[in-house]
Amino acid sequence: MARRAAVLAVSVALLASSVLTACSTQAPASGTDGSGRGDSDGKITLGFAQVGAESGWRTANTKSVQESAEKAGITLKFSDAQQKQENQIKAIRTFIQQKVDVIAFSPVVESGWDTVLREAKDAGIPVVLTDRAVDTKDPSLYKSFLGSDFVKEGRSAGEWLTAEYAKENGPVNIVELQGTTGSAPANDRKAGFAEVIKGDDKFKIVASQSGDFTRAKGKEVMQAFLKSHKDIDVLYAHNDDMALGAIQAIEAAGKKPGEDIKVISIDGIKDAFVAMNQGKINVVVECNPLLGDQLMDLVKKVAAGENVPTRVEVEEGVFTQDQAAEALPSRKY
């Protein structure tokens, strides 16, 4: 059965790019121990509860997980929660009933997971968090987190802004398009950005609202910002899709995105690089969705009861307009 299968070599890349803060051990819980777990063909079964399909980033992340599972010979049970926590909780409970070997999920929001995570733990099913973290006082409820440092991403956005306006007196009026309310990337990107700009009171966030990480909402909220604030200097969008929606609203209002209103975005999807190349986005802070291979390595390890790092962070960069044309052909998502 899956959990007794020999552990395959874990990629050196995972270790190289990881930040090891602590280790946890998972006792093997094989299907042959009477649990009935695992595929009859001996493959590891992974239950994956995805957030939804809200953005280009998410589409690339889903593809990466699906392709990597196939490549790794892991049976994937995939569920799309359509950005609703209750759907994710339902999916996780179904995976527990199905006695999958490992559960992985990207939590829509940060809080409210302890009960279902305890159910998984009681059933002996290890959980790996990917992309987004949970807010819990009990770190034994999951084995590992694989994803980005969202606070650092917010700080990078703020650092670009403070450098850009270093020689100006201000005020610099900023509107902020937040991601999904209560989600880790929305909370952390807001916090990291605020931490950097708070040192200089010429930076003023004049409006801040959620655009739910979608293009349509980004456009709608930006239209409202433009109506209520005539003097917007900067848009800080927590992801590219909202920035791209907002650019449509800025153009419809007769202004030039990238010039009249500077645009700062996060993710680094191809469409954003195209917009940056056209001068419509000024800077993109990268957030890497291609986590599939690293996730499958972790899944194999926890299924085999091996030690895994409790936090694995991915390497990410910052791209400005002058780098966009050169970087565009090699963007993988």
Name the residue nearer to ligand AHR (CB basis): 91 or 266: 266
**Does residue 167 contact residue 128 with C-beta atoms inside 8 Å?**
no
Name the residue nearer to ligand AHR (CB basis): 110 or 131: 131
* Of 54-62, 73-81, 154-162, 170-178: span binding ligand AHR (CB under 6 A): 54-62
Among 165, 213, 236, 319, binds ligand AHR (CB under 6 A): 213
Largest CA distance in the chain: 70
CB of 126 to ligand AHR, least distance (A): 22
* Of 51-59, 160-168, 169-177, 300-308: span binding ligand AHR (CB under 6 A): 51-59
* Of 17-25, 49-57, 111-119, 319-327: span binding ligand AHR (CB under 6 A): 49-57
C-alpha to C-alpha distance for 196 and 301, rounded to whole angstroms: 38
Name the residue nearer to ligand AHR (CB basis): 50 or 68: 50
Q: Is 105 in the site for ligand AHR (CB under 6 A)?
A: no
Listed residue (224, 214, 220, 216) closest to 186, CA to CA: 214
Q: Is 176 in the site for ligand AHR (CB under 6 A)?
A: no
Among 188, 267, 286, 297, binds ligand AHR (CB under 6 A): 267
- Kindly report the number of other CB atoms within 10 A of residue 150's CB atom: 25
Q: Is 158 in the site for ligand AHR (CB under 6 A)?
A: no
Helices (H), the chain: 12-16, 56-72, 85-97, 114-122, 150-164, 184-197, 215-228, 240-252, 270-277, 292-303, 321-327
Name the residue nearer to ligand AHR (CB basis): 68 or 183: 183
CB of 90 to ligand AHR, least distance (A): 20
CB of 58 to ligand AHR, least distance (A): 5
Among 69, 287, 298, 312, binds ligand AHR (CB under 6 A): 287
Q: Is 131 in the site for ligand AHR (CB under 6 A)?
A: yes
Name the residue nearer to ligand AHR (CB basis): 30 or 106: 106
C-alpha to C-alpha distance for 35 and 53, rounded to whole angstroms: 34
C-alpha to C-alpha distance for 96 and 99, rounded to whole angstroms: 5
Encoding tokens for residue 315? 């390497």
* Of 52-60, 84-92, 191-199, 229-237: span binding ligand AHR (CB under 6 A): 52-60
Encoding tokens for residue 298? 């972790």
The total number of residues written for the chain in this structure? 333
Q: Is 55 in the site for ligand AHR (CB under 6 A)?
A: yes
Rg (C-alpha) for the chain, rounded Å, is 21
Residue 101 per-residue DSSP state: S
